[in-house]
Amino acid sequence: MRVTLVAVCLLVVLLPFGALAQEPPAPFTQTDPPPLDARYETALRELAASPAGLAFLDALLLIDREYLYSVDRDALLRGATAGLIAALDDPYSRYVAPAEVAARRDDPRPEAGVSTTMLGDVGYIGVPSFEADGVGAAVGRGIDAHLGGGARALILDVRGNVGGSILQGLQVLDRFIADGVLGFRRVRGVSVPIAYANPRAVPLPLVVLVDEATASTAEIVAGALQAYERATLVGTVTAGKGIGQTSIELTDGAEIQLVSFEWLLPGFRSIDGSGLRPDLEVTERRIGDTSGGEGVQGMRDVALDPVLRAALQLLRETIGDDLAAPITVPVPTPGVGPTLLPTTPNDVPAEAPPEADDDGAPREGSTAAPADGPDDDGDDDDGERADEAA
């Protein structure tokens, strides 16, 4: 009886996959079942050999035969798959329906959304998400712009940043950490390095702003900077999501996002479930709160942002109190970012010409500093060039 039931279950399960090429036989007609596709035969045999698998097949058969209403077998299998994921009791593994997968693929990837500004001598960079492909490059451009503008310290704001591409996060870390392993990936007890730092790193003092919605890749970035004592963290304890998911495509267009590995900070430290504790904890809320996972969107008024205000005060204690006004003339920064060189009043290079394209024209973005020598028209020119540089 059990063998017969298993055989019938196999036939029912194969129907949605098109394994049966012919119509079912007429009632009371004795026929041999069609041969099974070899791809399914082994899997179904193993499924029927386990108590849980056999119960699953029994349920499919009984629902199809005894349920009062008509049953869509494809929908039944999708629901069963979603139930398997729910049975894992894991908040980060999930079943993604075909319609949701299709809608996500049709939508363009989000913009990088990186915002930059100068706060006196401090360069501010806000990163709302690491989802977009261009986040790492956008942060790099922001760093170079601040270096060219004479920044003496930097603030990286990842409040409300719930993560995204680890590659984008590593590109950001690469601009701040000069040596060492940037992090590890652990799978079933085996840990391997994910990347090594590039010697081309920015040495300026750095503060990272975090909150309880800072998660995943954003936590890896902030945690690695803290682990190497490269940055001071200001804000509140972070979310504690130190795991990564693998997306598995199913034949019907759905996906299973399955937790498959854990991220570890330098020193093999796990943050999953515990998060990062800031060096300076500031719990006071600001206007434009990011605790719900909406990343920081542009600069806010410093007076209305207690976390940003605390970070600026901390940097003032580090590099001095003279942070009142931005430097209007770019300072050359050899080896990192665009180097802006001074010129003579007649625009003849004094030491080295500004960067130029192959045709001899200055490259876009290269800015010449005003001349030191006085002339009749120099005051107006100096003011215009200083505005452009600022």
What is the rounded distance in angstroms from the CA atom of residue 263 to the CA atom of residue 304? 34
Of 277, 272, 214, which is closest to residue 243 (Cα–Cα)? 272
Residue whose structure tokens are 């996906």 = 255
Could you tell me whether strands 181-187 and 190-196 are parallel, antiparallel, or unpaired per DSSP bridges? antiparallel
128: its two tokens? 């709302």
Of 241, 210, 244, which is closest to residue 225 (Cα–Cα)? 210
Is 171:230 a contact under the CB 8 Å cutoff? no
The rounded Cα 124 to chain-centroid distance in angstroms is: 19
364: its two tokens? 């876009």
Residues with active-site annotation: 216, 241
In angstroms, the Cα distances linking 97 to 74, 82, 129 are 12, 9, 24
70: its two tokens? 């008509």
What is the rounded distance in angstroms from the CA atom of residue 90 to the CA atom of residue 258? 9
Is 170:196 a contact under the CB 8 Å cutoff? no
374-378 long-range contacts, Cβ below 8 Å, gap at least 24? 375/345, 378/345
**Cα angle value 233/169/243 (rounded, 5°):** 85
The DSSP call for residue 336 is: S
The rounded Cα 231 to chain-centroid distance in angstroms is: 19
284: its two tokens? 């006071």
290: its two tokens? 């990011």
